[in-house]
Amino acid sequence: MPHVLTRSLDRGATLFLIVVVACGVLIPLSNLLLPSGSMFQVPTYLVALFGKYACYAVLALSIDLIWGYCGILSLGHGAFFALGGYAMGMYLMRQIGSRGVYGNPILPDFMVFLNYPKLPWYWHGFDMFWFAALMVVLVPGLLAFCFGWLAFRSRVTGVYLSIITQAMTYALLLAFFRNDFGFGGNNGLTDFKDILGFNVQADGTRAALLALSCLAVAIAFLICRAVVTSKLGKVLIAVRDAESRTRFLGYRVESYKLFVFTLSACMAGVAGALYVPQVGIINPSEFAPGNSIEAVIWVAVGGRGTLIGAALGAVVVNYAKTYFTSGPLAPYWLFMLGAMFILVTLLLPKGIVGTFNTWWEPWKAKRSTVNAESAAREDGVSEPHMAE
């Protein structure tokens, strides 16, 4: 495994990991160690904001893995993100105990309000962190496996697959809105107190969550790089570019697509689990199809099929959202988001990083040729490209 990870890293990937790790270490230390009046001290609200951006970056990486390298355009990945968030939210609700409004040590407040006689069976075990962490990965992964097995076996592709993924997340949205579904209905899960015994509102906890989110970005990026630079990744690219030809050559295309789709869903679930304690709430609005479409826009803006571009697009678009939704342009943010997607599609079809790579590679090759010719002249070789 160390050899696979080392082989999958180039200069750009290494630089990206260094930046992510540096953010995960320096920003929390700046928030905790420097005095509040220092110009280098990062305020607590920015720590929480950067933590959200890191969770979005993990979600964008999961989408880029299937869309950029396998051609699976999922418009329902927000469902896996939300399911991971609900799994973590259930653990956080169980940690409240008797400190809730109604003082019930077993039932969350919304269950007491709705006259639940006892805790539903699917809530059992969420008082243990290891069980909740397992469900964060298992529930989205199991849903993705079942959905993908049915869809890919039926050879549903293209826009039809995108539509049914959107239908899936909309169905979950309607289900989680119901009060009798056992997940808080419209209000969702909120009023969290502790995580692993630490106050979720404390500065130290927020700094630790940011560090964990940055670590999750680094791990997700390493997993994606290991996949796309391996033989498996070559097959995925072949499926993306010519699925029928790849199937004709003897590859079980459905198995490859099912594996990468399930892996992507598990990554999205982890992103949702890290997101919930930082924002303090999880409700059915996270299942909204618009959230999944917005995540696809992050990948398109940053650069589909580049991984680094997906993470960068998530940060850039959400920073723009934070900036523009806090002023007079707030009512027009969705129009601006749509305009951004159209402009990127028309003017930068490869995204920010893809366009940069298109410009950088020819310049790098030309520079290498010039350096080789210069070295050859210094050695007294008049035709450096001919074999001696």
DSSP state string for 79-119: HHHHHHHHHHHHHHHHTTGGGSSS--SSS-HHHHHTT-SS-
C-alpha distance from residue 11 to each of 7, 17, 89, 224, 388 (Å): 11, 10, 38, 16, 32
Structure tokens at 176: 């989680």
Partners of 195 in beta bridges: 198
Mean pLDDT of the residues in the chain = 88
CB atoms within 10 A of CB 181: 13
CB burial of residue 350 (10 Å; 0-12, 13-18, 19+)? middle
Question: In sequence order, which ranges of 229-279 are alpha helices (DSSP H)?
Answer: 231-241, 243-248, 253-279
Contacts of residue 300, defined as CB under 8 A and 6 or more positions apart, other chains included, come to 313, 341, 344, 345, 351
Whether the CB-CB separation of 51 and 210 falls below 8 Å is answered with yes
- pLDDT > 70 fraction of the chain, expressed in percent and rounded: 91
Written as one letter, the residue type at 1 is M
Q: Residue 173: enclosing H or E segment and its boundaries?
A: helix 158-177
Cβ atoms within 10 Å, residue 32? 16
Residue 317 has pLDDT above 60, yes or no: yes
State the pairing for strand pair 198-199/194-195. Answer: antiparallel
Residue 302 has pLDDT above 50, yes or no: yes
Tokens of 154: 């039926």
Q: Which residue has the tokens 């529930």?
A: 139
- In degrees to the nearest 10, what's the CA dihedral of 296, 300, 301, 302? 100
Four-point Cα dihedral 237, 337, 218, 42, nearest 10: 170
What pLDDT is stored for residue 341 in this prediction?
78
Reported confidence tier of residue 49, pLDDT bands at 50, 70, 90: very high
- Confidence band for 388, pLDDT divided at 50, 70 and 90: very low
Tokens 């106050």, residue? 199
Asked whether residue 304 carries a pLDDT value surpassing 70, the answer given is: yes
Contact 20, 218 (CB under 8 A): yes
**pLDDT tens figures, 175-219:** 999 988 889 989 999 989 999 989 998 989 999 999 999 999 999
Q: Among all chains, which residue has been given the structure tokens 């009046």?
A: 37
DSSP for 14-41 reads HHHHHHHHHHHHHHHHHHHHS-TT-TTP
At 100 the pLDDT is 85
pLDDT reading at 252 higher than 50: yes
- Residues whose CB is less than 8 angstroms from the CB of residue 198 and which lie 6 or more positions away in sequence, other chains included: 204, 205, 208
What are the CA-CA distances from residue 304 to residues 168, 309, 332, 348 (Å)? 24, 7, 26, 11
Looking at residue 101, its pLDDT comes to 87
Alpha-carbon distance of 88 to 273, in angstroms, equals: 5
Mean pLDDT of the region 96-114? 89
Q: What angle (nearest 5°) sits at the alpha carbon of residue 319, between those of residues 316 and 320?
A: 85
Asked if 169 and 79 touch (Cβ cutoff 8 Å), the reply is yes
φ/ψ of residue 38, rounded to 5: -75, 145
Q: What is the pLDDT of residue 387?
A: 45
Tens of pLDDT along 350-360? 888 877 777 76
Q: For the purposes of burial, counting CB atoms within 10 Å of the CB of 302, is it exposed (0-12), middle (13-18) or buried (19 or more)?
A: buried
Local confidence band at 386 (pLDDT 50, 70, 90 cut-offs)? very low
Token match 């999880």: residue? 282
Query: Which pLDDT value is given to residue 322?
Result: 85
Average pLDDT over residues 246-271: 94
* pTM for this model (two decimals): 0.90
| Confidence bin at 253 (pLDDT 50/70/90) | very high
Q: Considering only residues 323 and 216, tell me which one the structure prediction assigns the higher pLDDT.
A: 216
Least confident residue range of 40-44, 291-295, 349-353: 349-353
Question: What pLDDT, in 10s, does the model give residues 25-35?
Answer: 999 999 988 88
Question: What is residue 131's predicted lDDT score, i.e. its pLDDT?
Answer: 96
Chain centroid to Cα 138, Å, comes to 16
